[in-house]
């Protein structure tokens, strides 16, 4: 069976971009593939973060994944820092990647790569992501469009390691959804929706109430024309709304446009579709948030399962790279 792995940063409650670009597809993938999903908490250290909030955000993110339909009876859900092989393999891979290729990563440049005070971890972060993936022999990595370049790097690192040390890793492929692979900010439609940079009005959370969703969609920035047309370059705001409606209803964004004579009608349809799409997710999230012990238990079982896969892969990589194995094994 195909192995799937993906990850999400512990930003807290998931937003609509996470949901449509990635997590909704994970819930479908888990029934067809052997699926692993992780909350990548070690990635938080790459920029300023609040230590007092990290544990809570990690739990909120895991809760959001369960609310979005991940079923712990079917897939494996865990927290990255609970599986020691991730940062350990990352070191081996860091020494396989080059400064030049890491420096060229778009996200590194966008997050201030030119700045002297930027953390070294921000530069090497995509290699930790490669370790997340390669430890599980993942064939397929379902992600939003913004992660394509990181997946290319993962493939390059795996191919290079295999070439140098002999066949060790499965070379994975990115799986990017056909619609809503890049959900844009509702206030700044040329920028992707994201918890870290968006204004609260620009981002829809999976916990937003129907009234909040309605308000945010109605205030969404469009343009000074009035024609509803699917043209992401010239009309990013309107096209984003059409993308959202398409993703929520299963239709094609361009074919939806002629059905609307003005922006008001489009916004009303988008708001209604999103409210219905997110209603069950929000309800499950609220119920799960009241049962913290359940989520903690799911993560404990997930980490135990993840270790049984990641541990042997890590040992294989260490052996391939020529290390003397500890007599008691690498688990300690």
Residues that bind ligand AMP (CB under 6 A): 8-9, 11, 17-18, 21-22, 143-144, 146-147, 181-183, 192-194
Catalytic status, residue 195: yes
- Please choose, out of 6-14, 27-35, 248-256, 298-306, the segment that lies near ligand TRP by the rule CB under 6 A: 6-14
- Minimum distance, C-beta of residue 107 to ligand AMP, in the bound complex (Å): 9
Q: What count of residues does the chain have?
A: 332
Neighbour tally for 75: CB within 10 Å: 22
Binder of residue 132, out of ligand AMP, ligand TRP, none (CB less than 5 to 8 A by kind): ligand TRP
173-175 and 3-8 beta bridge pairing: unpaired
Find the binder of ligand TRP among 16, 27, 143, 277 (CB under 6 A): 143
Measure Cα distances from 174 to 32, 100, 218, 302 in Å. Answer: 16, 22, 34, 23
Point out which residues pair with 5 in neighbouring strands.
36
Task: Determine whether 219 is an active site residue.
Answer: no
Whether 192 is catalytic: yes
Confirm or reject binding of residue 147 to ligand TRP (CB under 6 A): yes
Position of minimal CB gap to ligand AMP? 21
Q: Is 101 or 212 the residue whose CB approaches ligand TRP more closely?
A: 101
Q: Which of 304, 312, 9 has its CA nearest to residue 136?
A: 312
CB of 172 to ligand TRP, least distance (A): 9
Q: Which is nearer to ligand AMP, 34 or 146 (CB)?
A: 146
In angstroms, what CA-CA distances link 217 with 174, 206, 226?
A: 30, 14, 16
Residue 319: CB minimum distance to ligand AMP, A: 32
User: Any bridge partners for residue 4, and if so which?
Assistant: 35, 140
Spatial strand order in the sheet of 3-8: 76-79, 34-39, 3-8, 140-142, 173-175
3-state secondary structure of 15: strand
Report the nearest approach of ligand TRP to the CB of residue 119 (Å): 15
Does the footprint of ligand TRP cover residue 46 (CB under 6 A)? no
- 8 A C-beta contact, residue 8 and residue 24: no
Q: Which of ligand TRP, ligand AMP, none sits in contact with 150, Cβ below 5 to 8 A by type? A: ligand TRP
Instruction: Find the binding residues for ligand TRP in span 11-40 (CB under 6 A).
Output: 40
Strand partners, 76: 36
Q: What is the rounded distance in angstroms from the CA atom of residue 280 to the CA atom of residue 155?
A: 37
| Distance separating alpha carbons of residues 153 and 140, to the nearest angstrom | 14
Q: Which does 243 bind (CB under 5 to 8 A by kind): ligand TRP, ligand AMP, none?
A: none
DSSP state of 205: B
User: Residue 205 binds what, of ligand TRP, ligand AMP, none (CB under 5 to 8 Å, by partner type)?
Assistant: none
Nearer to ligand AMP, 183 or 248 (CB): 183
Checking DSSP bridges between strand 34-39 and strand 173-175, what pairing results, if any?
unpaired
Residue among 3, 82, 150, 307 that touches ligand TRP (CB under 6 A): 150
Out of ligand TRP, ligand AMP, none, what residue 182 binds, judged by CB under 5 to 8 A for its kind, is ligand AMP
CA distance 214 to 150: 34
Q: Which of 75, 127, 133, 248 binds ligand TRP (CB under 6 A)?
A: 133
The least CB distance from residue 22 to ligand TRP, in Å, is 8
Choose among ligand AMP, ligand TRP, none what residue 266 binds, the Cβ cut-off being 5 to 8 Å by kind.
none
Bridge partners of 141?
174
Give the active site residues.
Answer: 111, 192, 195
């Amino acid at each position: 069976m195909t192995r799937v792995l993906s990850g999400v940063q512990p930003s807290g409650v998931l937003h609509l971009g996470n949901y449509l670009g990635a997590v909704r597809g994970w819930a479908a993938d888990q029934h067809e593939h052997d699926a692993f999903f992780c909350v990548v908490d070690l990635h938080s250290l790459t920029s300023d973060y609040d230590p007092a909030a990290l544990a809570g955000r990690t739990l909120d993110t895991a809760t959001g994944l369960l609310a979005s339909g991940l079923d712990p009876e079917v897939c494996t859900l865990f927290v990255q820092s609970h599986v020691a092989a991730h940062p350990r393999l990352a070191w081996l891979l860091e020494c396989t990647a080059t400064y030049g290729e890491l420096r060229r990563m778009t996200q590194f440049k966008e997050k201030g790569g030119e700045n002297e005070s930027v953390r070294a971890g921000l530069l090497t972060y995509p290699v930790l992501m490669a370790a997340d993936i390669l430890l599980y022999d993942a064939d397929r990595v379902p992600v939003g469009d913004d992660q394509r370049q990181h997946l290319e790097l993962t493939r390059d690192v795996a191919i290079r390691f295999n070439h140098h040390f002999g066949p060790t890793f499965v070379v994975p492929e990115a799986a990017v959804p056909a619609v809503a692979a890049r959900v844009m900010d509702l206030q700044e439609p040329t920028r992707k929706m994201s918890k870290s940079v968006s204004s609260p009005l620009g981002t829809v959370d999976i916990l937003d109430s129907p009234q909040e969703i309605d308000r945010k969609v109605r205030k969404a920035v469009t343009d000074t024309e009035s024609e509803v047309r699917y043209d992401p370059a010239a009309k990013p705001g309107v096209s984003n709304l059409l993308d959202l409606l398409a993703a929520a209803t299963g239709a094609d964004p361009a074919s939806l446009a002629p059905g609307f004579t003005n922006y008001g009608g489009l916004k009303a349809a988008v708001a209604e579709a999103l409210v219905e799409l997110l209603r069950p997710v929000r309800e499950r999230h609220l119920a799960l948030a009241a049962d913290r012990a359940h989520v903690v238990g799911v993560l404990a079982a997930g980490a135990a399962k993840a270790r049984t896969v990641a541990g042997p892969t890590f040992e294989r990589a260490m052996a391939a790279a020529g290390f003397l194995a500890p007599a008691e094994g690498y688990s300690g």
